[in-house]
Chain A
Amino acid sequence: MDVSMTVNGETRSGAVEPRTLLVHHLRDELGLTGTNIGCDSSSCGACTVHINGESVKSCTMLAVQADGENILTIEGLAATAQADGSATGEQNWHPMQEAFQQCHALQCGYCTPGMVMASISFLNENPNPTETEIREGLEGNLCRCTGYHNIVKAVQSAAGGAS
């Protein structure tokens, strides 16, 4: 089946099998391997991307369901921040990427792209969260390295920078 979607600001068209998951389409056909796969039960959140600005686990939908949608992956994140003038730090990154590095919110880095995308979406919905709200807001994204301590700090830091 032919699909066409906007991915990181570019129109990407191609043929997919009806059963192809969005995450496989992004990784295997579009070469966007920054989005990782950590489970097969939509539990871990490593594959979280934004669809029309909201976080979605890209293993929970078919590529054909994303036809016509606007998708943002970790690879396109810095550019969006540069475009809207919010980019920051030495890498000229999205503030959440910068906060993750400054707060040591990643170790192996495998959950990180999904965690960053989920954290941004969460702050969009709740710009001034409490620690408890952050923890509950990120419940759908698992990390085995950090114990979440520094991830929570990074989200707090990014929220502080935004307000």
Chain B
Amino acid sequence: MTAVVGTRMIRREDPTLLSGEDKFIDDIHAPGELWMVIIRSTMAHATINSIDTAEAESMPGVHAVYTGQQLLDMGVTGGPLPCAWLVTDDTVNPAHLPVAVGEAKYVGDPVCIVLAESRDQGVDAAEHVIVDYEQLPAVASIEAAVEAAVTAHTDLETNKTFHWPLVPDQDALDAAFAAAAHVVKGRFVQQRLIPSPMEPRGCLAVPSPTGGELTLYVSSQIPHFYKFFIAAVVGIPEHKVRVVAPSVGGGFGGKINIDGDAMLSAALAHHLGRPVRWTEERSEAAGSTHHGRGQIQYMEIAADADGKATAVRAHLDADMGAYLTLLAPGVPTLGAWLFTGVYDIPNIGVTIDGYFTNMPPIDAYRGAGRPEASYAIERIMDMLADEVGVSPAEIRKRNYINGGEHYENFESAGSLTFDSGHYNPAHDRAMEMADIDGLRVEQARRRDAGESKQLGIGMCTYMELCGWAPSRVLGALKYAAGGWESATVRMLPTGKVEVVTGTSPHGQGHETAWSMLVADRLGVDVNDVVVLHSDTAIAPLGLDTYGSRSLPVGGEAIVRAADKVIEKARLIAAHQFEAAPEDVEFTAGTFSVSGTPSKSVHIQELGFPAFSAHDLPDGMEPNLAEGFTYDPPNLVYPFGTHVAVVEIDVDTGGIDLIDYIAVDDCGPQVNPLIVEGQIHGGVVQGAAQALWEEASYDDEGTLRNPSFMDYLVPSAAEVPSIRTDNTVTPSTTNSLGVKGAGEAGTIGSAAAVMNAVCDALAPYGVKDMEMPATPKRIWEAINSNGGAA
């Protein structure tokens, strides 16, 4: 059997997606289902004086209209919703009900629901619910939250929810800054972003009134989490809950929450004995699905006279929105270790204050804490280069861990062990692909000629920490769950193979990639392998898909389960051969005894004897079905160097991203076609933060841009083709040597693009600019400095 791992195999997921056959959440229905329509607060902060539901209740098709108070009285709230990552013992975590009672905390906060026979009837009735609000002062920015003239929760005296420090040695940190030849400071703003998977969220809860069981179909990255929390919060016994994530139309972190909408659907379906469904509209999603980013970063770097960095100090004011949702406080904190980036910087100090605001909750969004950290260190390295008077490439070369040469198991200033890195080859390859010298010549020519279209060249060498995660590490970080992943590999009687995984893909191609892994391991045709996932009745154990964990954790679990199948099959082969197991070799699917050609059997031929069990070794359990739950000993640390080239019209502020080079290293690749696809999409998502996207709130806490007409998810016309290459530095964490790739593009690209923008504008005295770098901001920056180059 020809090995398939490492080949550009096209995906087995594609045919049903390309024919329209796949079932997304809105394609699944249950007889007798009620549609839930949610009435959401139109005010960022308000007392709910009264809600008049009488007229709505009398409308056609309406089954019921419930206010938050009524749901509370019925004991059917679906809440309080969980936060699983209270990062300190004293983290303030107000009760978060799916439907607000008494006080609305953000525009989009649910205040009332309608259940109707059809969606249209529900929407019509919702129009006739009259909510009497009394507006309260709103906290509509991080700065306002810090200032605390107003509190986001009237019953709290402060907006601060936690203070979290990563300061291993305060004295050494202070000493490094005191002794520094150069200290460079930056204030960087990570604007709020709306995750915007193309499929909005939705769910369908189907009860079994007789037996008390409940099945929740939900467009989610985390069906296993839902099962646990429906049991823990709604109170349905865990063994009677089944959660299915059908085809999921993208996630990007936006579907990694325990959402009130789904929890309430489950609670209502269980209470009413009728299926309840809900699908959000896009304009609803913009202000009710959790947002991402939302930080103000105060970043400082200390360096000696040659630009060798000696210390990094950062303080983050992190916007948590109105409530703490599932992972929220953990998002900025898990980025803290990356403020030293890919550099050998001996001192680190990061402090984080989390704040409540009257805006939607903020939680994980592609990269989750790591793009923010990468942005801060990669922007400030460019500013340090400018201060020292060397190129961005040179300042990085002077600071890379181990001089950019290969290393393994580096102890970082933040007390993590970076598994492996080798930064020079990726750096050099990116410079070569970009033709950095040629670009600088062209840039100089345009500057000298005073042309209106000026070039900007930016680079970024990022590190990510992913493969979440060693359970003990998570425990030490006060995260409530573990970080293992589970797999089962079954050789069926006919020799076909079932792989059950606890990962829960939503576009990443796990069915293809996992079948490739198992095909090579077992020596079977890849088409003889099926991958089963995302249904807790089929894959009962799992911790799902996020944090670029699926291959380094879930993939490792799968190959270890496959190895257990091989070892058991070896015993059966030895029994058939009447040979000692240690004399039985396994090569490309075939067991044999060396020197005895007649004694040979393919592993797929052992499926039936293992099943029939007529002649197994004494005491052996029938069947070839083995499970493995893998708890990784360490995280993994992918890296790469990206180069962005922008063209800025200095007369208008117009900006085009005209070239992008990404040289990434995620260790050995199972399927380069899939890895490249992840990089392409990730790069564009990060570039979108740099240039286009921002959830824009006014002073009263109203979202100004709740649709794709004004929240600028880029189209094909805004972005260039992405030129990619890769280097291969195996991880020391797992046997496959693999690292994650799902978030890498996003972690590198915002900094690379903004470094390019600032590079283009350097002649105009522009040192820094807030994201997104809109034409307006660029024009103002050019002209506020006199407009003279």
Interface residues of A (CB under 8 A from B): 17, 19, 27, 32-41, 43-44, 46, 73-75, 78, 91, 93, 97, 100-102, 104, 106-113, 116, 131, 134-136, 138-152
Evaluate contact between B24 and A36: CB separation under 8 angstroms. Answer: yes
Complex partner residue of B18 from A93, A144, A149, CB under 8 angstroms: A93
**Interface: B26 (CB within 8 A):** yes
CA distance A121 to B60 in the complex (A): 41
Q: Which of B89-97, B329-337, B518-526, B708-716 contacts A (4 or more CB under 8 A)?
A: B708-716
A135 touches B20 (CB 8 A): no
A131: shortest Cβ distance to chain B, in Å? Answer: 7
Residue of chain A at shortest CB distance from B280: A40
- How many whole Å from A34's CB to the nearest CB in chain B? 2
Contact A110 B198 (CB under 8 A): yes
Judged by a CB distance under 8 angstroms, whether B673 is at the interface is: yes
Residue in A40, A138, A145 whose beta carbon sits within 8 Å of that of B250 in the complex: A145
A136 to B718, CA, bound (A): 9
Given A43-B709, A97-B19: A145 and B27 within 8 A (CB)? no
A–B complex contacts, Cβ < 8 Å, 18 sampled: A38-B198, A40-B707, A41-B708, A91-B19, A107-B508, A107-B681, A108-B197, A108-B250, A109-B17, A110-B199, A111-B249, A136-B716, A139-B715, A141-B715, A144-B681, A145-B507, A148-B719, A149-B677
Query: Are B20 and A104 closer than 8 Å at their CB atoms?
Result: no
* A residues less than 8 Å from B509 (CB atoms): 107
On whether A43 and B708 interact (CB within 8 A), knowing A106-B17, A113-B20, A136-B717, the answer reads yes
Let me know if B716 and A74 touch, CB within 8 A. no
B507 touches A39 (CB 8 A): no
Would A147 and B719 be within 8 Å (CB), given that A108-B250, A110-B249 are in contact?
Answer: yes
Stretch of B8-16, B356-364, B613-621, B777-785 with 4 or more beta carbons under 8 angstroms from chain A: B8-16
Question: Given A104-B673, A107-B508, A108-B250: A41 and B707 within 8 A (CB)?
Answer: yes
Known: A102-B10, A141-B715, A147-B683. A75 touches B674 (CB 8 A): no
Whether B677 contacts A145 by the Cβ 8 Å rule is yes
Report the separation of the CA atoms of residues A73 and B23 in the bound assembly, to the nearest whole angstrom: 16
Q: A144-B250, A152-B721 are in contact. Are A109 and B13 (CB under 8 A)?
A: yes
Does B734 make an interface contact (CB < 8 A)? no
The interface residues of chain B lying within 8 Å CB-to-CB of A44 are: 198, 282, 708
- B197 engages A100 (CB within 8 Å): no
Knowing that A36-B249, A101-B14, A104-B674 touch, tell me 20 more A-B residue pairs with CB under 8 angstroms: A19-B120, A27-B26, A33-B20, A35-B20, A75-B21, A104-B676, A108-B198, A109-B247, A131-B721, A135-B717, A139-B716, A141-B716, A145-B198, A145-B507, A145-B677, A145-B681, A146-B680, A147-B685, A148-B719, A151-B716
> Given A107-B507, A142-B198, A38 and B282 touching (CB < 8 A)?
yes
Residues of B within 8 A of A93 (CB): 18-19
Contact of A112 with B18 in the complex, beta carbons under 8 Å: yes
Q: What is the minimal beta-carbon distance from A108 to any residue of chain B, in angstroms?
A: 3
What A residues does B716 contact at CB under 8 A?
A: 134-136, 138-139, 141, 143, 148, 151-152
Rounded to whole Å, the gap between the CB of B765 and the closest CB of chain A is 33
Whether A108 contacts B507 in the complex (CB less than 8 A), given A131-B721, A144-B252, comes out as: yes
For B248, the chain A residues whose CB sits under 8 A away are: 108
Measured between beta carbons, the chain A residues less than 8 angstroms from B250 are 107-108, 110, 144-145
* CB of B385 within 8 Å of the partner chain: no
| Docked-complex contact A40 and B282, CB < 8 angstroms | yes
Is B281 in the interface zone, CB < 8 Å from A?
A: yes
